[in-house]
């Protein structure tokens, strides 16, 4: 009986030793930091990030609640099913994390010599680039404001609270506007509809 026990113990030890040794050899073969590929590589331009990530995602949040007057009467649209709320959760998290993408350094404003402006009071890419350098702190604060606004949307989604979703959605819109009015069309007097 005793013999059996000690046999088991030595088996357990025998199994443990390679595990410990395995850990050691793993750390010894870790790739030195200098040889790692760069952790952050901005690929999309700001314009692409806005057009393909931020704007359509925010639209999906804003369009989740709507009231439309039709011939048959007023049609109210609100998130109802688990899938509806799960989609809103996905959108909120996409926006929260997009705020981090906004502050990665070295991201171009546009691809090549693309245009950022159709309206006279919209800045050109090179002017935005200059502002980004001069007012980096302000830009980062705006991105943080945007992140906090998106986090509040997520809280409303998790509470499944339609009223709060509308309120936090409006605050999110303000956060977009704060950054745009300083970095995209700073000369403009009136808030501009997107």
Rounded-to-integer distance, Cα 53 and Cα 68, Å: 26
Residue 58 within binding range of ligand HEC, rule CB under 6 A? yes
Polymer length in residues for the chain:
194
Structure token digits, residue 53:
């990530």
- Residue 13 or 119: which CB sits closer to ligand HEC? 119
Q: Which is nearer to ligand HEC, 58 or 165 (CB)?
A: 58
Q: Are 177 and 191 in contact (CB under 8 A)?
A: yes
CA distance 177 to 192: 8
Q: Please give the backbone phi and psi of residue 74, each rounded to the nearest 5 degrees, phi first.
A: -80, 130
- Residue 130 lies near ligand HEC (rule: CB under 6 A): no
Q: Would you count residue 184 as binding ligand HEC (CB under 6 A)?
A: yes
Number of residues that bind ligand HEC (CB under 6 A): 23
Tell me which residue of 194, 183, 175 sits closest to 63, measured CA to CA.
Answer: 194
CB 39 within 8 Å of CB 153? no
Task: Return the residue matching tokens 């595990």.
Answer: 19
- Minimum gap (Å) between residue 72 Cβ and ligand HEC: 31
Q: Please identify, using beta-carbon distances, which residue of 143 and 157 lies nearer to ligand HEC.
A: 143
The closest of 77, 85, 95 to 148, measured between CA atoms, is 95
Residue with smaller CB distance to ligand HEC, 162 or 179:
179
By beta-carbon proximity to ligand HEC, the closer residue of 64 and 184 is 184
Q: How far is the CB of 116 from ligand HEC (least distance, A)?
A: 4
Which of 64, 88, 91, 102 contacts ligand HEC by CB under 6 A? 102
Enumerate binding residues for ligand HEC (CB under 6 A): 46-47, 50-51, 54-55, 58, 102, 109, 116, 128, 139, 142-143, 146, 172, 175-176, 179-180, 183-184, 194
């Amino acid at each position: 009986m005793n013999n059996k026990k000690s046999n088991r113990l030595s088996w357990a030890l025998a199994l443990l030793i390679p595990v410990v040794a395995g850990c050691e050899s793993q750390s010894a073969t870790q790739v030195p930091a200098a040889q790692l590929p760069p952790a952050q590589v901005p690929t999309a331009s700001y314009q692409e990030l806005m057009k393909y990530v931020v704007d359509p995602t925010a639209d999906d949040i804003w369009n989740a609640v709507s009231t439309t007057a039709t011939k048959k009467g007023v049609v109210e649209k609100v998130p109802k099913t688990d899938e509806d709320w799960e989609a809103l959760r996905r959108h909120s998290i996409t926006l929260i994390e997009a705020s981090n993408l906004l502050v990665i350094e070295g991201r171009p404003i546009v691809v090549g010599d693309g245009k950022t402006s159709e309206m006279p009071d919209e800045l050109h890419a090179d002017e935005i680039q200059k502002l980004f350098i001069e007012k980096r702190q302000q830009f980062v604060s705006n991105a943080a404001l945007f992140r906090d606004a998106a986090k509040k949307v997520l809280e409303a989604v998790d509470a499944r609270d339609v009223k709060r979703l509308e309120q936090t959605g409006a605050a999110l819109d303000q956060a977009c506007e704060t950054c745009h009015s300083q970095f995209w069309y700073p000369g403009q007097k009136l808030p501009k509809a997107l």
